[in-house]
């Protein structure tokens, strides 16, 4: 590579060589840590210090901390980039060069990694205007050549990593990268408006739309309408186009003369394109016009399009009119609001505002730090949702309490629900069932799907033939969160085929037996060490990694959680803004006891076991965790306990796992089980059903006058 490239030249401190002449890998590439690089199949190539990476807006930048490094010596490239950057980008005089998509950057510990996804001229993307350096790298864009592109970017270092990877494997890995997820998350965080309202001014500006706008603003919802937001002298077309692109939700108010406005037609066409490209939620409102008139282009809509068709081709292209027709029909087919069915108009406004609030609140519910390490699973679930099948498909996500099932389902729901006619996220099915009943839960589900909040069906079946027919016409996305019994599932769903073609149903549960008949299943795994530290740090320090003085303490805290997201978040939030001494004290307590919030979440799983399963669980937690299954089963069977049945039930309920005939229980579940036994007699161990602590056993024998025990 030329010295004007994006990586430090040969001879730079980190380009050191062993006596063999081969490149020396940083310690992060040791055998013990290699799993951090091959994370979920995402091949990530290390870029060691002194290069540092950061983000400004949607762009990613690097800073080279070495003043002598040749990375900053390319004057042409440096000047062409830095002259266009805000002074904030020129951080302390250290010039940071933008790396445009499709290259993405992430960090593990102190190291930084990049991923690239084809098709892309990777070299030109990285080197930008540096023609000399660009010519030295491969410009092929086919996925099979990714390894050579990476090697050409850093021949010495890259070859030691990427050349040992099969090109075909690399190609498939790159296809599964989370570039789309990251880019859409960044884009969503930069959206300027919550709602864009499309309407024809003379029809509705003075009454309905103004009331809707005022109510949305009163609820704190940032809303765009052209009369409010356009500054004097601003061109209307670019401004409205940017507003549509910069909104989470679009409300299209169809009125009698809406289609006669070319401007309105262009708006709805762009709105539907945003729905297709990034899942913008579109809510049609039919004000003084029937949905079928809009959908099938009759009445005033037929007259309007007849005029568009006859317009001179020089001013109005036929292709554009086709695009308008398609967009209008798609928009009118979505679940929305009909003014003839909801009266007076004030009630219609209330319903629209409530629907928008519900969407925005559910979206913010899952946009938090809880998704660290979960991107690969999110993408895999989304792949099933987007596979193009017209079959009604069911997806199950199973894992122990606090493992992140709800967060995964919530993010998938937020990212995908706009692509369906109707949707419903039914949270905490277990808790809601205990508070109310299954009929009430099902009415909530049907009410959201059909747009009838006051629906009341009390029969065991799902309702009348009319209700079932309406459901069969809707492509729906449903999430049933925290289902605890097959009875709950069957009552809420009855038959998945009740819903329209292409519908998707996601079920989260702690019990694998509940989802045994679904089409696809996923089991939640614990977070890796690096992701555990990142999630903990985001809660404790509001940043990705701990400060130096807290690093070792943070490692201890992350190790305590053993990859359980709930425990990481609870402990991180508790320790936030506390002193080092308070950290030391809290972590010492963690060794012997379990946080109450974590205990209560895990205890729910234990409470749902039958008596024999509880006995088996406590025996494993107190005495046999890590032991051979066959030995434990033989011992428990000799005590009259049906071990095989109990062990299988605990596996299905995500309370233990089996690996090489050994029983493994999560450390926090084990602590929870032992805490349950301690509560049998908090002060007198001799009255407990099980003893495992040597000091307590020894003390009990001494109390009986037997001091001969060693």
628 and 605 share one domain: yes
39 and 156 share one domain: yes
Tell me: pLDDT of 17 over 90: no
Strand-pair partners of 64: 51
Residue 499 near residue 467 (C-beta atoms within 8 A): no
pLDDT at 480: 94
Provide mean pLDDT across the span 634-659.
86
Least confident range from 11-15, 384-388, 595-599, 602-606: namely: 11-15
Nearest C-alpha neighbor of 576 from the set 538, 611, 529: 538
For residue 147, count CB atoms less than 10 angstroms from its CB and return exposed for 0-12, middle for 13-18, buried for 19 or more: buried
361 domain residue, yes or no: no
564 and 608 share one domain: no
Q: Which residues contact 700 (CB under 8 A, 6 or more apart)?
A: 685, 686, 691
Q: How many domains does the chain have?
A: 5
Tell me: pLDDT of 210 over 70: yes
CA 229 to chain CA centroid, Å, is 32
Residue 543 near residue 382 (C-beta atoms within 8 A): no
Residue 673 near residue 618 (C-beta atoms within 8 A): yes
Q: What is the dihedral of CA 22, 26, 31, 35, to 10 degrees?
A: -130
Residue 359 near residue 422 (C-beta atoms within 8 A): no
344 and 448 share one domain: no
Provide mean pLDDT across the span 388-416.
90
Mind listing the pLDDT tens digit for each residue in 264-310? Answer: 898 999 999 888 877 788 999 999 899 999 999 899 999 988 888 87
443 and 482 share one domain: yes
201 and 230 share one domain: yes
289 and 346 share one domain: yes
Sheet arrangement for strand 281-286: 223-224, 193-198, 247-254, 281-286, 337-338
Burial 24-53 (b: 16+ CB within 10 A, else e): beeebbeeebeebbebbebbbbbbbeebbb
Question: Which residue among 222, 228, 245, 267 is the active-site one?
Answer: 267
Handedness of CA 480, 483, 488, 494 (dihedral sign): positive
128 and 76 share one domain: yes
Least confident range from 153-167, 273-287, 404-418: namely: 153-167
Least confident range from 171-175, 538-542, 655-659, 679-683: namely: 171-175
Tell me: pLDDT of 673 over 70: yes
Tell me: pLDDT of 504 over 90: yes
Residue 50 near residue 69 (C-beta atoms within 8 A): yes
Tell me: pLDDT of 129 over 60: no
424 and 557 share one domain: no
404 and 485 share one domain: yes
Tell me: pLDDT of 628 over 70: yes
Residue 37 near residue 107 (C-beta atoms within 8 A): no
Tell me: pLDDT of 166 over 70: no
Q: What are phi and psi of 113, to 5 degrees?
A: -130, 155
Q: Which domain holds residue 32?
A: 27-177
Tell me: pLDDT of 152 over 50: no
pLDDT at 705: 58
Least confident range from 175-189, 244-258, 319-333, 400-414: namely: 175-189
Task: State the Cα angle at 542 between 538 and 547, rounded to 5°.
Answer: 90
CA dist 684 → 175, 298, 578, 677 (Å): 59, 83, 35, 11
Nearest C-alpha neighbor of 668 from the set 531, 526, 572: 526
226 domain residue, yes or no: yes
Nearest C-alpha neighbor of 331 from the set 301, 286, 392: 286
Strand-pair partners of 42: 39
Count other Cβ atoms within 10 Å, centred on residue 710.
3
Alpha carbon distance 307, 321 (integer Å): 11
690 domain residue, yes or no: no
Considering 197-206, 218-227, 257-266, the range whose residues carry the highest mean pLDDT is: 257-266
Share of the chain above pLDDT 90, in %: 18
pLDDT confidence band for 464 (50 / 70 / 90): low
Alpha carbon distance 240, 404 (integer Å): 39
pLDDT confidence band for 592 (50 / 70 / 90): confident
Among 486, 504, 523, where does a domain finish?
523
88 and 205 share one domain: no
Mind listing the pLDDT tens digit for each residue in 419-460? Answer: 898 899 998 888 888 777 788 888 888 888 888 877 888 777
Among 300, 331, 356, where does a domain finish?
356
Share of the chain above pLDDT 70, in %: 67
- Whether omega for the bond prior to residue 102 falls within 30 degrees of 0, making it cis, is yes
CA 605 to chain CA centroid, Å, is 25
Q: What are phi and psi of 68, to 5 degrees?
A: -90, -5
For residue 368, count CB atoms less than 10 angstroms from its CB and return exposed for 0-12, middle for 13-18, buried for 19 or more: middle
pLDDT at 89: 33
Tell me: pLDDT of 386 over 80: yes
Tell me: pLDDT of 662 over 80: yes
Mean pLDDT of the chain: 71
pLDDT at 364: 53
Helix then strand count (H, E) for the chain reads 33, 20
Nearest C-alpha neighbor of 495 from the set 483, 322, 503: 503
Q: Which residues contact 270 (CB under 8 A, 6 or more apart)?
A: 241, 244, 245
Alpha carbon distance 344, 340 (integer Å): 9
Among 146, 177, 208, where does a domain finish?
177
Q: Which residues contact 370 (CB under 8 A, 6 or more apart)?
A: 404, 407, 535, 565, 569
The DSSP symbol for 316 reads S
Considering 245-254, 355-364, 534-543, the range whose residues carry the highest mean pLDDT is: 245-254
Tell me: pLDDT of 333 over 90: no
CATH number where 464 lies: 3.40.50.300
Clarify whether 222 is annotated catalytic. Answer: no
pLDDT confidence band for 206 (50 / 70 / 90): low
514 and 535 share one domain: no
Alpha carbon distance 83, 187 (integer Å): 24
pTM of this prediction? 0.50
- Whether omega for the bond prior to residue 50 falls within 30 degrees of 0, making it cis, is yes
């Amino acid at each position: 590579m030329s010295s004007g490239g994006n990586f430090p030249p040969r001879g730079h401190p980190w380009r050191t060589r062993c006596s063999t002449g081969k490149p020396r890998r940083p310690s992060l590439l040791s055998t013990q840590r290699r799993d951090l690089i091959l994370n979920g199949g995402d091949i990530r190539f290390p870029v060691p210090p002194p290069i540092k990476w950061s983000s400004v807006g949607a762009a990613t930048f690097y800073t080279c901390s070495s003043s002598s490094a040749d990375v900053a010596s390319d004057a042409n490239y440096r000047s062409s980039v830095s002259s266009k950057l805000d002074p904030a980008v020129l951080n302390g005089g250290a010039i940071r060069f933008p790396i445009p998509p499709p290259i993405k950057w992430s960090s593990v510990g102190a190291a930084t990694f990049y991923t690239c996804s084809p098709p892309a001229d990777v070299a030109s993307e990285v080197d930008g205007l540096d023609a000399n350096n660009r010519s030295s790298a491969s410009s092929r864009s086919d996925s099979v050549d990714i390894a050579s592109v990476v090697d050409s970017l850093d021949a010495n270092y890259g070859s030691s990593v990427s050349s040992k990877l099969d090109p075909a494997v690399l190609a498939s890995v790159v296809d599964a990268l989370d570039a789309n997820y990251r880019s859409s998350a960044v884009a969503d965080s930069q959206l300027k408006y919550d709602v864009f309202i499309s309407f024809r001014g003379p029809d509705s500006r003075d009454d309905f739309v103004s009331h809707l706008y005022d109510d949305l603003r009163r609820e704190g919802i940032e809303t765009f309408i052209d009369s409010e937001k356009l500054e004097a002298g601003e061109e209307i077309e670019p401004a409205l186009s940017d507003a549509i692109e910069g909104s989470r939700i679009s409300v299209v108010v169809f009125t009698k003369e809406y289609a006669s406005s070319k401007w309105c037609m262009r708006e709805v066409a762009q709105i539907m394109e945003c729905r297709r490209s990034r899942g913008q939620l579109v809510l049609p409102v039919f004000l003084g016009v029937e949905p079928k008139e809009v959908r099938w282009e009759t009445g005033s809509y037929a007259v309007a399009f007849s005029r568009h068709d006859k317009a001179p081709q020089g001013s109005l292209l036929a292709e554009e009119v086709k695009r308008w027709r398609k967009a209008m029909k798609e928009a009118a087919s979505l679940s929305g609001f009909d003014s003839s069915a909801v009266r007076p108009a004030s009630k219609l406004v209330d319903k629209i505002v409530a629907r928008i609030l519900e969407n925005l609140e559910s979206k913010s519910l899952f946009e938090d730090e809880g998704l660290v390490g979960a991107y690969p699973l999110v993408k895999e679930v989304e792949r099933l949702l987007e596979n193009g099948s017209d079959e009604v498909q069911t997806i199950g996500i199973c894992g122990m309490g606090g493992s992140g099932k709800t967060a995964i389902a919530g993010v998938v729901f937020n990212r995908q629900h706009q692509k369906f006619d109707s949707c419903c996220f039914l949270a905490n099915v277990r808790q809601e069932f205990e508070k109310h009943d299954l009929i009430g839960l099902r009415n909530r589900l049907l009410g959201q799907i059909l747009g009838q909040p006051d629906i009341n069906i009390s029969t065991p079946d799902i309702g009348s033939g009319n209700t079932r027919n309406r459901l069969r016409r809707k492509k729906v996305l449903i999430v049933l969160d925290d289902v605890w019994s097959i009875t709950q599932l069957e009552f809420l769903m009855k038959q998945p085929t009740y819903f329209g073609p292409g519908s998707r149903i996601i079920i989260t549960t702690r019990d694998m037996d509940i989802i045994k008949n679904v089409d696809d299943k996923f089991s939640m795994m614990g977070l890796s060490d690096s992701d555990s530290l990142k999630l903990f740090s985001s809660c404790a320090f509001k940043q990705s990694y701990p400060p130096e003085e807290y690093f070792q303490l943070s490692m201890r805290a992350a190790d305590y959680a053993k990859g359980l997201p709930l425990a990481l978040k609870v402990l991180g939030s508790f320790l936030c803004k506390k002193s080092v001494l308070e950290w030391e004290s809290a972590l010492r307590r963690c060794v012997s006891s379990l946080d109450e919030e974590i205990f209560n979440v895990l205890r729910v799983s234990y409470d749902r076991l039958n008596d024999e399963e509880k006995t088996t669980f406590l025996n494993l937690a107190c005495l046999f965790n890590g032991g051979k299954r066959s030995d434990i089963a033989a011992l428990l069977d000799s005590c009259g306990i049906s071990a095989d049945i109990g062990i299988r039930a605990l596996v299905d309920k995500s309370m233990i796992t089996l690996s090489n005939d050994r029983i493994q229980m999560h450390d926090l579940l084990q602590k929870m089980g032992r805490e349950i036994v301690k509560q049998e007699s908090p002060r007198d161990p001799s009255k407990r059903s099980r003893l495992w602590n040597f000091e307590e056993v020894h003390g009990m024998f001494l109390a009986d006058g037997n001091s001969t025990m060693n």
